[in-house]
């Protein structure tokens, strides 16, 4: 059986792929190398420029310092020698007899101390110092001994020349650099001293000459040197001399001039607004404290990038040439390597067509030759395998057919068992549902019995409370009857008191009547006594009337008390009857409570038995469901086995067809 094999230009495709892969790897490697080289070159050039800036700044500072020092030195020495000449003139006047020595010395002193002639800078002055360090002529401290200072020891040793030292005038807070020029006049032992702070000699500097020297310094193609004073004014600059940059900002809004004045030393990167935004520059600056100047050197990054760009272009050209040459060599090498692979492809095509008789001729001992030998061994192994498969495929096909029939029978039996188990499960589910319903009803009966027992207990408790209250009422009624009888006895005692009062009233009336008779017999003299006797008799009549009313009220109270006693005795008999009925009711509740307790216990036992039966049914039902699930799984498995058997049968048929398509010895 022949096979149709799609033929592709394997050799050309592999060659192209290897060349593309080589080019990609080469480009990535070269680009990475170029980036590394670019970065290292850029950093090296930047570092070189920084070193050049540092060297240039140091050189400029040295140049300015040398220029300033020479200017200050020449000026101070010149002033000292000029004043020495004036002192010598006064001395010659003394020697010629024109002046006395005292007058000549005083004239020389006045000349040195003159506010105009003797002023140097802003705070400097002229002075005369003896060879022992005593300030013989001084505008502020004449006669002071300064021999203890180191600079004075050096000055008295030198006598002539130039000297720098640190000094602080009276009223100042910190020392500053001070310079002095000396010229010795030996006849009067005077060292003419001209000194002042170095920062006060700015006017002595010839900026035009200094600018001419500094602007000759070039940094790259556009870099330059500039000098700025403490107010931000450019004293030396190629294009902006005399302009103030104190309030100028760069493209980021930073006051670069103020930052340099505050930092005094260091480096800064900034881009001016009137320049291209990408045309950034780097400035190295230093502070010249004697004149309070900022000396700076600036270089542009374009100069740095120019060499880097040139290096990158040459690197890219070299990489491109290398890539072309490498690709040609790789193509030649691949063509040599892929020839045996072409022969392998031809044999592989024959194998794909079903011919296992062709082999590859091994012509080399390198890796390709070894691969060709292994390929031949692979075809030999494949031929042996196909031969064995041909002998085994028939037996496999027969076995698969037997397995298919057996799987069908197992599937039929499994379906029958699954249906029977499902019927049992359905019956058990109905029984379980019925048992659950009975359990619910029994639990309700048990709950009702327990509720009845609780109600009976509450009724018995209330009956007992009623009995207690009945006994309390009977006791209270007995007390009431006893109190009413006691009240009757006290009313009887009141009768006696009322009778006594009536007797007293009768006697009082008799006495009053007799008193009236006596008063009438007395005539006019007994008239007042007659009025009193009449009032007493009237009071006795009122007393008799009141006692009569009291008697009536007492009689009514006695009648009411008698009725109350009769009613209380009748209530007592009713209470006794209610007590007897309540006692019978309590006995009846006792019987009901006993019956309800027996019913509740019986209902609980029945509920317990039913619940146990429900639990047993649940376990049986769970087991049957597991069995049903197992049978269902078994049925599913047997169905899958049937399907797998059918697939295996098809595969066996296909394998037999494939094996038959190969030609072997």
In which residue are the tokens 């000094």 written?
Answer: 167
d(CA 258, CA 150): 38
Report the half-sphere exposure of 375 (CA within 13 A, side-chain side).
Answer: 22
* Residue of higher predicted confidence among 277 and 629: 629
* Cross-strand pairs, 163: 180
d(CA 69, CA 163): 11
* Residue of higher predicted confidence among 566 and 129: 129
| Strands 190-197 and 135-137, bridge-based pairing | unpaired
Q: Write the CATH number of the domain with boundaries 380-660.
A: 1.10.287.950
Name which of 461, 650, 661, 489 is nearest 558 in CA terms.
489
Report the half-sphere exposure of 594 (CA within 13 A, side-chain side).
Answer: 5
Average pLDDT over the chain reads 75
Average pLDDT over residues 312-334: 71
The separation between the first and the last C-alpha atoms of the chain, rounded to the nearest angstrom, is 16
User: Does the pLDDT of residue 56 top 80, yes or no?
Assistant: no
Sequence spans of domains, the chain: 380-660
* Residue of higher predicted confidence among 545 and 62: 545
User: Does the pLDDT of residue 228 top 80, yes or no?
Assistant: yes
d(CA 195, CA 155): 12
Instruction: Express each pLDDT in 287-311 by its tens digit.
Output: 877 777 888 888 777 766 666 666 6
User: Does the pLDDT of residue 13 top 60, yes or no?
Assistant: no
Average pLDDT over residues 252-279: 78
* Cross-strand pairs, 227: 236, 295
User: Does the pLDDT of residue 662 top 70, yes or no?
Assistant: no
Tell me what percent of the residues of the chain surpass a pLDDT of 70.
66
Diameter of the chain by CA atoms? 199
Which two tokens mark 94? 């003394």
Which two tokens mark 238? 């190629």
Average pLDDT over residues 397-416: 67
Instruction: Express each pLDDT in 158-194 by its tens digit.
Output: 889 998 888 887 777 888 888 899 999 999 999 999 8
Quickly state the pLDDT bin for 79 (edges 50, 70, 90): confident
d(CA 259, CA 125): 36
* Residue of higher predicted confidence among 534 and 128: 128
């Amino acid at each position: 059986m022949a096979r149709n094999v799609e033929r592709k230009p394997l050799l050309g495709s592999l060659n192209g792929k290897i060349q593309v892969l080589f080019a990609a790897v080469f480009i990535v490697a070269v680009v990475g190398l170029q980036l590394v080289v670019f970065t290292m070159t850029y950093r090296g050039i930047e570092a070189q420029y920084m070193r050049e800036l540092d060297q240039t700044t140091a050189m400029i500072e040295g140049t300015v310092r040398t220029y300033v020092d020479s200017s200050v030195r020449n000026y101070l020495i010149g002033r000292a020698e000029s004043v020495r000449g004036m002192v010598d003139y006064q001395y010659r006047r003394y020697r010629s007899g024109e002046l006395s020595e005292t007058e000549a010395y005083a004239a020389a002193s006045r000349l040195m101390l003159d506010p105009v002639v003797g002023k140097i800078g802003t705070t400097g002055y002229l002075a005369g110092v003896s060879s022992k360090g005593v300030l013989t002529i001084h505008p502020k401290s004449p006669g002071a001994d300064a021999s203890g200072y180191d600079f004075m020891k050096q000055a008295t040793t030198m006598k002539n020349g130039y000297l720098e030292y640190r000094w602080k005038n009276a009223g100042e807070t910190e020392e500053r650099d001070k310079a002095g020029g000396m010229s010795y006049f030996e006849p009067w032992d005077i060292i003419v001293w001209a000194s002042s702070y170095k920062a006060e000699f700015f006017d002595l500097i010839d900026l035009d000459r200094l600018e001419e020297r500094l602007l000759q310094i070039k940094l790259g193609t556009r870099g330059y040197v500039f000098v700025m004073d403490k107010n931000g004014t450019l004293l030396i600059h190629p294009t902006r001399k005399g302009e103030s940059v104190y309030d100028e900002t760069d493209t980021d809004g930073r006051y670069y001039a103020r930052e340099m004045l505050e930092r005094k030393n260091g480096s800064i990167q900034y881009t001016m607004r009137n320049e291209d935004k990408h045309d950034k520059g780097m400035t190295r600056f230093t502070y010249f404290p004697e004149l309070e100047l900022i000396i700076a050197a600036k270089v542009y990054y374009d100069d740095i990038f120019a060499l880097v760009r040139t290096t990158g272009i040459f690197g890219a050209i070299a990489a491109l040439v290398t890539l072309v040459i490498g690709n040609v060599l790789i193509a030649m090498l691949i063509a040599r390597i892929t020839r045996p692979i072409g022969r392998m492809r031809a044999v592989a095509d024959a194998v794909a067509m079903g011919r296992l008789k062709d082999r590859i001729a091994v012509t080399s001992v390198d890796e390709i030759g070894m691969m060709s030998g292994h390929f031949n061994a692979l075809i030999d192994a494949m031929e042996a395998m196909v031969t064995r498969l041909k002998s085994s495929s028939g037996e496999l096909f027969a076995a698969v057919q037997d397995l298919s029939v057996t799987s069908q029978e197992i599937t039929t039996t499994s379906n029958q068992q699954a249906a029977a188990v499902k019927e049992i499960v359905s019956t058990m589910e109905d029984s379980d549902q019925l048992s659950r319903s009975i359990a619910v009803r029994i639990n309700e009966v048990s709950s009702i019995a327990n509720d009845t027992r609780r109600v009976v207990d509450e009724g018995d408790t209330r009956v007992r409370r009623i009995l207690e209250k009945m006994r309390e009422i009977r006791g209270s009624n007995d007390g009431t009857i006893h109190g009413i009888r006691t009240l009757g006895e006290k009313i009887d005692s009141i009768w006696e008191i009322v009778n006594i009062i009536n007797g007293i009233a009768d006697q009082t009336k008799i006495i009053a009547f007799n008193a009236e008779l006596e008063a009438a017999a007395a005539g006019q003299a007994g008239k007042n006594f007659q009025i009193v006797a009449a009032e007493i008799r009237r009071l006795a009549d009122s007393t008799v009337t009141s006692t009569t009313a009291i008697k009536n009220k007492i009689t009514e109270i006695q009648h009411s008390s008698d009725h109350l006693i009769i009613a209380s005795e009748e209530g007592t008999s009713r209470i006794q009857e209610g007590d007897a009925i309540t006692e019978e009711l309590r006995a009846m509740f006792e019987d009901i409570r006993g019956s309800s307790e027996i019913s509740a216990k019986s209902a609980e036992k029945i509920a317990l038995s039913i619940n146990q039966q429900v639990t047993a049914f649940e376990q049986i039902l769970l087991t049957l469901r597991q069995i049903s699930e197992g049978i269902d799984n078994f049925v599913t498995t047997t169905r899958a086995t049937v399907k797998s058997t059918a697939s295996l049968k098809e595969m066996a048929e296909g394998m037999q067809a494939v094996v038959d398509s190969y030609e072997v010895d």
